[in-house]
Structure 1
């Protein structure tokens, strides 16, 4: 589990692609590796990776075919910068929102502009994901927890403040670039709950009107 608050950026040192997947080595740079153990999770551009080997300043992980097909990892190259966040602790400050590290799909940058002291980014998603994007709701972009400021059809707008732009890889985005998107996990579970509700006669008492009344949808 993660919060979407990036701890550091790193660089891809090597990618070994195989028919069964890939193995990736990350230069962790300023990320504190002092408490990292084998089997720990580190979100890399929003993708939860399991540490299979590590040094004082790097780590390696295996990447499945599912990850290569669903995320932007299939296009990554050595030298590329990535956002890094270690799994949160029970005692950690919860600064972002609940992030699972399970990417739902890709978003494409369609426009970038400056507004005041911030930058506005418009992104487009597949129509199958647009229902999960809500104005003033949360999304995760390459592992960064962000607030959606407006939604128009299958596009949505993010406002990036200087600190976030400086501490993540967002400043490197260009129009047309595809980035990893994770929707709010609550939206996914609400949808599944409603699907199951429709498929059974034995109701739990939870209805769409109740969810709307209590502010879940």
Structure 2
């Protein structure tokens, strides 16, 4: 498996980069043959729990995506990748050496996304330490956003505004979807702040910033 799941389009440059820890599933399993051929939002060819949940979160934040095989400019702006080019059923299968890889930062330098979504809060401090490798300066602002679920559990998200990109770090969609539930909509403000530059330009919706 390559370290990018989706097809790259013209709009992928300066778009939205989705970054998890590593590829889930069975490392000995058979590749589905879809890597690099379709848009991240294409439901027919990318219906894994991870992507399905993340797209539902986008909808909860007021960002509806076209799930067809004929993606529009906004849907073509996504790049799905992972920090580590390894595969395991959970993050416990990731070694410390895996985090030393440089491919993510090369990818950011190449495509210069204006919005980066880290789908594991644990990646945020690692990203801050190495953002310079991607040509990003120390963030002007970085702040936490707490979310309290209906059952009383608390989760944290991070929003950081770098000179060339906004970074949003959220809990892993597959692992925490059922616990967070509908409470995810409460992170609409930081999510919109992180994604607005791309959304406002590439979508037909009204600008997210008033």
State if a TM-score over 0.5 links the two structures.
no
After TM superposition, the score normalised by the length of structure 2 is: 0.26
Radius of gyration: which is bigger? 1
After TM superposition, the score normalised by the length of structure 1 is: 0.25
Larger helix proportion of the pair: 2
| RCO higher in structure (CA 8 A, sep ≥6) | 2
Larger strand proportion of the pair: 1
